[in-house]
Structure 1
């Protein structure tokens, strides 16, 4: 008869062991899975990753912004720790200026309309010519119909009157084809723009005038012997010459 080995378990013993292990397993209660803690940890890690990404992106954006601000005139090394904004530097180029004595224009007037052109001086136009008055002087007249001016050929006339302080009033009649836009007056004291007066309907003539202050040193020179006006030129809007006249060499 064969006897079971000491190291072998009989079928009855094996069945008994299974029953004992099963009962022991029933007595073991598994621990609860900490789901809430796992969710909190997941959210915390997600927030950390998001903050890291945003921080890196902001750093990339702020770096060029700082360069732009510094180039725009903000000094980062202010002694009080605050930012100092430097105002834009003023332009070093010359500023354009307009001399009042050069200001000129073209004005259309009605017959008999008096225009004050200087202190105590008035000019008015009628269909037969130019009229003007000066302080302590009788009214003066230059006709465009008496034959003294040949209106068929472009030209410019001149009348000068001066005062003891060197202030000169210059005026005359211009005539030629075209609508006047500018009057250039060359004088002993320099160049300036005159003003043109015309009647409505473009009659083919008009009146120009200007005022100039001539220094006493120039008036005492030999150049002033022939007057202070050198040339008068009337231009149209395209820059063409309507009429021009030289008055002294």
Structure 2
């Protein structure tokens, strides 16, 4: 079947259509732009981005803290907190140039087992000790005038049994003790100090040591101790005393 031929629209009709569409467009009033809604949406998106950035920063901080804890706490297991070791109570921290000593702060009358069968306790008036073979407790006063407490000094008591010697005495001077160095005929050793709280200005030192058989006792005096020096935490000397071996 043959379709009838349709001729194109006359130019005048096309121009008329354009005029009609243009007039219709002028009659259309565009709606107002929702600026307030756009601003609210912008603020909401900025807050969301800020929360995401803050959350990421907190996550990084937690990771860094975990790394620090693991470094400071050595080998920690999963979920395990390892506390760094703390200095023992009553033990001052000496300077790096001074080897660590042993100092124990005791309460008045507190008996300390310092060697097998030997106990020492301190009161405000001096040193008390009990040892095997003695008829009872012995005492050395810091207030009866036998010790010159106006200047630094060190006293000495020695006792020996089966080649083992127990050396002890009272030290007095300014400062808090941190280390006791004892030089004997068998060599040098680090003693232990006992002191009362409150900086009384004195304390007790002691050391147990082995001495060669060549060292003999004369008239009950063993002659084992050669020198006793008490240091503070800065390496300064609180008291020093030489003894004739």
Q: Does TM-score exceed 0.5, indicating one fold?
A: yes
- Provide the secondary structure at the position in 1 that maps to 2:108: coil
Question: 2:114 aligned to 113, 117, 130, which one?
Answer: 117
- SS where residue 200 of structure 2 aligns? coil
Task: Tell me the distance in 2 between the aligned counterparts of 1:175 and 1:113.
Answer: 20
Q: How many residues align?
A: 145
Q: 1:142 to 1:154 in 2, by over 3 A?
A: same
Query: Where does the alignment leave 5 or more consecutive residues of structure 2 unmatched?
Result: 1-98
1:158 to 156, 159, 168: 156
Q: In 1, Cα distance between the equivalents of 2:173 and 2:235?
A: 14
Q: Paired residue for 2:129, among 123, 128, 132? A: 132
- Structural RMSD (CA): 2.2
Unaligned segments of structure 1, at least 5 residues: 1-101
1:215 paired residue among 203, 212, 215: 212
Residue by residue over 1:66-89, the C-alpha shift from the partner in whole angstroms, topping out at 9 and shown as x without a partner, is: xxxxxxxxxxxxxxxxxxxxxxxx
1:226 Cα shift?
Answer: 6.4
The aligned residue for residue 170 of structure 2 is 173
Identify which of 223, 238, 243 aligns with 2:239. 243
**CA deviation vs aligned residue, 1:154-194 (integer Å, no higher than 9, x gap):** 0000000111x211100000000000000000000110000
Shift of 1:217: 2.3
Instruction: Give 1 or 2 for the bigger CA radius of gyration.
Output: 1
Match of 2:145 in 1: 147
Q: Among residues 217, 229, 235, which one is paired with 1:233 in the alignment?
A: 229
Q: Does 1:192 align with 2:193?
A: no
Deviation (angstroms), 1:215: 1.4
Query: Who is 1:22 aligned against?
Result: none
- Could you list the structure 1 runs, at least 4 aligned residues long, displaced by more than 4 angstroms after superposition: none
Structure 2 Cα separation of the partners of residues 169 and 226 of structure 1 = 10
The Cα shift of 1:103 comes to 9.2
